[in-house]
A and B are shown apart, each in its own frame.
Chain A
Amino acid sequence: MSMKFDRPMNWKELPAGCLIDEAATSLRFKTGDWRSMRPIWDAEKCIHCLFCWITCPDTAITVQDGKMTGIDYDYCKGCGICAVICPPKASAIDMVREEK
C-alpha cells in the first residue's frame, strides 16, 4: 500500500499501527513556513568555508562541487545559526524579518 499525502486520510485508509510504509517521508514536510527570520546569502561575500553547511540543523544549505549555492527555503526554519557561524571577515549571511 502506498500512502497518499495529497489530502488528510481518514482512519480506514491508514496502514495498521503508527506505521508509515516508506522511509524519508519527512522530506515532504516543508518546515520552511515556521520561519520568522530569513537568512539572505550574499554570493559575492561568501568564501565557501561551508561552516554553515556543517552546522545547519535542517540540511538547508545547498552545495554543489564543494561550493555553497544557496539556501533551501522549503526547509530552513530561520534559526540563524548560519549567520552566526559565518566568519566575521566574510559575513555573507544576513538575517532579515520574514515578510508576509
Chain B
Amino acid sequence: MKTIAKTGNEAMAYAMKQINPDVVAAYPITPATEIVQIFSNYVADGEVDTEFVAVESEHSALSACVGASLAGGRVMTSTASQGLALMHEILYIAAGNRLPIVIALVNRSLSAPINIHCDHSDTMGSREAGWMQLYCANSQEAYDSLIIALKVAEQTAVPAIVSTDAFIISHAMERLEVLEDEEVQRFIGEYKPRFSALDLENPKTFGPLDLQDYFFEHKRAQIDDFSKVLGTYNKVAQEYAELSGRYYPALEEYKTDDADVAIFTAGSTADTAKEVVDGLREQGRKMGLVRMRMWRPLPVEEIKAALGKFKAVAVMDRSDTMADFGGPVFLETRGILYDAKKKPLLTDYVYGLGGRNIDISDILRVYDEIEQVVKQGKIDKLITYLGVRGEE
C-alpha cells in the first residue's frame, strides 16, 4: 500500500493499469475525459499488455469491446456524457450477451445546451440497460470501485459502470492509497470466460435472432442474473475491505442512528453533506445522511430499512426525469417506500444540473427545510429546484 496524489481521472486510469485488461477500445468524443488518454500512455510506455483499439466513435468503441469480450477477453473502456449516449444501443447488447465489460465513467450532463460539467443525467438515462451502476464520492472510492466492480462483473456476467462527478472528482487532486500491482492481480484473479468465440473446438452461435418464442425467456433469465449482483457485490466488497481496509457498502449510512431527518443523495455531494451533518451534530440537531452508491441493481431492502426509520427525508437528485415529477432517485425511492411499514415524508431537491455549484449553505438549507417538514407534519413543496435563479 502506498500513498499518492491523483485526480479522479488519474485514479481510474491507474486502477485500469493495475487491472491490465486484455482489450481497451475507446474514442474521445467531446466531452470525454483524459482517462483513456492517460491509459493510452501506459500502453505506449509498455506498462500494460493491453491491446488498445482506437476506433472512430463511442458506438464503435463499445462494439469493439463487445467483440473482444465475446472472444473471451477482460475488457474495459471509458466514456462520459454524449459518449455514453452514443454507446446506448450497445449497452443493451453487452448486457444481453452477459459480457462483463467495465466502463470508467465521468458523470457529465447531456446536451442541449452544450455543457461538460457534472450532473447524473448520462448514467441515469442508461439505468435500464442492464449494467451495474456505482456512483463514487471521491477519487479513492473511484479507484477502489473499479477493482471491486470488475470482479463482481466477471463473477455475475453483468457489465458495470463506475462513475465520478465531473471536475469535482475527475479533475480534483486528492490523496489516495493504492494497492500494489500484484495485490490487484491477486484480488481480481485470472479471468475465466464462460465462453470464447475463438474456441474453435467448441463452436457456438452468438447473437442469433430471437423472436416471440424465446426473447422473453432470455430477458427473464437476464433479470434473474441481475438479481444476484447485490449479493455478489456484498461478498466482494467485504473481501476488498479485508485487503485494503476500505469497505464500501451498496448503501452508506452516516450518523443516522438517532436521526429524525436525513438527506438521501449520491456522489461528491454526499461527502459535502457529511461536513454539514458534522456541523449540525455540534449544534445538537439530530440529522443524518444516506448515500446512494449502488443504483443498479437497486438495493431495495437496504433503502427501505435505511430510510424507513426517519420522520422526513430529502432526496437530492442530480438529474431530472422530465416526468414533471422530480428526479429518478426520488421517483424510485417513493416506489420502494410504498409498501414500507414505516415511511418518512419524502421530498425531492433537483440540484447541480450542468455543474451548478452545490455548497454547504445549499445543503444546510435542505436540512433546515426538512426539519420544518417534520415540525409541520406535512410537505408544502414536493419538488424543489435548488440553486436555480428565478426559483427561490
Contact = CB atoms under 8 A, between A and B. Distances in A.
B52 to A, nearest CB: 26
Contact of A11 (B97, B203, B220): B220
A10 B213 CA distance: 10
Nearest to B219: A11
A19 B221 contact: no
Interface in B184-240: 194-195, 202-208, 210, 213-214, 216-218, 220-221, 224-225
Contact of B221 (A12, A21, A22, A23): A12
Q: Is the interface of A mostly helix, strand, loop or mixed?
A: loop
A25 B98 contact: no
A22 B208 contact: no
B157 interface: yes
Given A8-B213, A11-B218, A19 B225 contact: no
Contacts of B202: 21
B331 to A, nearest CB: 28
Given A11-B220, A11-B224, A14-B221, A20 B157 contact: no
A22 B205 CA distance: 6
B204 A10 contact: no
Contacts of B218: 11, 14, 17-18
B157 to A, nearest CB: 6
A19 B206 contact: yes
A10 B219 CA distance: 11
Contacts of B195: 19, 21
Contacts of A24: 203
Given A9-B217, A11-B221, A11-B224, A18 B204 contact: no
B217 A19 contact: no
Contacts of B210: 18
Contacts of B72: none
A23 B225 contact: no
Contact of A17 (B97, B213, B224): B97
A90 B51 CA distance: 58
Nearest to A25: B205
Interface in A1-58: 8-12, 14, 16-25
Contact of B97 (A12, A14, A18): A18
Given A11-B217, A11-B218, A16 B208 contact: no
Contacts of B206: 18-19
Contacts of A11: 216-218, 220-221, 224
B203 A22 contact: yes
B205 A17 contact: no
B96 interface: yes
A19 B97 CA distance: 7
Most buried by A among B96, B98, B213, B216: B98
Given A14-B221, A16-B221, A17-B157, A23 B205 contact: yes
B204 A23 contact: yes
Contacts of A18: 96-97, 206-208, 210, 218
Nearest to B209: A18
Nearest to B223: A11
9 contacts: A8-B214, A11-B216, A17-B97, A17-B157, A18-B96, A20-B205, A20-B208, A21-B202, A23-B205
Given A18-B97, A21-B195, 14 more contacts: A10-B217, A11-B216, A11-B220, A11-B221, A14-B217, A16-B225, A18-B96, A18-B206, A19-B98, A20-B204, A22-B203, A23-B204, A23-B205, A24-B203
